Structure 1
């Protein structure tokens, strides 16, 4: 399998597969592909080969689709491509029992067949964050390779044992799964959502964390004033 990540602001993930090689992704996310791929949609995909409907249901709780699609290359091989949904970057990560990751829901793009995509953490934080949906992280485990899309620019930190970092939940893009994560109410910070307090994620080391400069909620808020008023009767 050959991986190419092309582009800058809105990157493209292009996977070139040899005969019989396969990857798993959410079905509606494919951008283009060469002819001849066998496509099979099932709840069993994205479970690392370990489950069916119940594993798929757990994946839904983690923000993914119940059914994922497996793309298997034909005898002559083939190419399948996925486009980023937000300005940002696409990262390839290697996964094994010693390297598991938590990613913000919506970041998962594709993976090899032995990677498991499941719910990692789900936290309600009130109506002010993510439209009341709270914050959801998916867990990537098993053995193989996964590709994730992260929004905006990335900043990475290595936290040592005993170190911690307070992070707005929307900017916490990805972190190693063994790192303890808590949510704290920080008093004295006035904001338009919570009055005189703010919910922040507190991530504890040791481990590596990826922070993203953009969030979908802030992007939506930035463009909302320029959208047509649905309540007006403009003809």
Structure 2
């Protein structure tokens, strides 16, 4: 399976398929494809067969269904474009190993890839709006692609080396990395620091991928402007409407 990643802030992944070769993705990820690539939406897909596998994947942040894209009658291609500014990262899974990915990070992968629930913990209303913290576990054998938000910072942690990360900035890490949740020290940090009560503590050895942009952070940053623009547009629309009505009445007199 060959691929090409184009673009920077809003990249697109194009996967080139040999005849009868398939790639599996979450439903709704398709951007464009060649006409000979067929779609098959099932509860399974890849190594996620069966209802139980679909439920685990759904709890992890994916959907109940997955879509399998297969090239028929010759080579074909299928493209998946990023929905938020970020980077598309490829990783190869070997048997007996896995990678933890943030809850909406899995984009697509080969048929030998399995996606399930890797970690779930409720962190309360102080962080992520009470939605809790979940990680997808990608295992099996083959290549998969993850979409991480903003710029990606990749580090290899030495054995015993630790790093504290705001949970939303944890993009992906190898299963050899130990993952834990710690509370920020100090009552002032918890009440007035603005950083939430918890941090993720990652302990090596292994590679970690940190993302600079989180979807809740993007939504929070845009919210004041969206509200102001909506109010301004409504007011301007009202004034323009009144002016147009006045001109129309004068013409008709």
Decide: shared fold, TM above 0.5.
yes
Match of 1:221 in 2: 220
- CA distance in 1 between counterparts of 2:108 and 2:196 reads 37
Match of 2:175 in 1: 177
176-185 vs 8-17, greater mean Cα deviation: 176-185
Aligned-residue Cα RMSD (Å) equals 2.2
* Residue 163 in structure 1 maps to residue 161 in structure 2: yes
**1:56–1:194 distance in 2 versus 1, CA, 3 Å:** farther
3-state DSSP of counterpart to 1:41? strand
* Residue 117 in structure 1 maps to residue 126 in structure 2: no
Contact 2:96 2:140 (8 Å CA) reproduced: no
**1:221–1:195 distance in 2 versus 1, CA, 3 Å:** closer
Structure holding more strand per residue: 1
Contact 1:128 1:193 (8 Å CA) reproduced: no
- CA distance in 2 between counterparts of 1:88 and 1:82 reads 13
131, 145, 148: which is aligned to 2:146? Answer: 148
Match of 2:18 in 1: 18
- CA distance in 2 between counterparts of 1:98 and 1:142 reads 7
CA displacement, residues 77-102 of structure 1 (integer Å, 9 cap, x when unaligned): 21100001211110111011244100
Deviation at 1:128, TM superposition (A): 2.3
Match of 1:31 in 2: 31
3-state DSSP of counterpart to 1:190? helix
Match of 2:251 in 1: none
**1:216–1:67 distance in 2 versus 1, CA, 3 Å:** same
* Residue 62 in structure 1 maps to residue 60 in structure 2: yes
Deviation at 1:193, TM superposition (A): 7.7
- CA distance in 2 between counterparts of 1:205 and 1:127 reads 29
28-37 vs 154-163, greater mean Cα deviation: 154-163
- CA distance in 2 between counterparts of 1:193 and 1:145 reads 43
100, 103, 112: which is aligned to 1:102? Answer: 100
**1:193–1:214 distance in 2 versus 1, CA, 3 Å:** farther
101-110 vs 37-46, greater mean Cα deviation: 37-46
- Structure 1: give runs of 5+ residues left out of the alignment: none
The higher radius of gyration belongs to 2
User: Runs (4+) of structure 1 moved beyond 3 Å?
Assistant: 191-197, 228-235
- Structure 2: give runs of 5+ residues left out of the alignment: 239-253
* Residue 76 in structure 1 maps to residue 79 in structure 2: no
- CA distance in 1 between counterparts of 2:100 and 2:192 reads 26
Deviation at 1:190, TM superposition (A): 2.7
Contact 2:184 2:190 (8 Å CA) reproduced: no
Q: How many residues align?
A: 233
Contact 2:24 2:108 (8 Å CA) reproduced: yes
- CA distance in 1 between counterparts of 2:22 and 2:192 reads 45
Deviation at 1:44, TM superposition (A): 1.5
Contact 1:20 1:75 (8 Å CA) reproduced: yes
Deviation at 1:195, TM superposition (A): 7.3
Match of 2:134 in 1: 136
Deviation at 1:178, TM superposition (A): 2.8
**1:195–1:87 distance in 2 versus 1, CA, 3 Å:** closer
Deviation at 1:198, TM superposition (A): 2.4
Match of 1:89 in 2: 87
- CA distance in 1 between counterparts of 2:173 and 2:93 reads 13
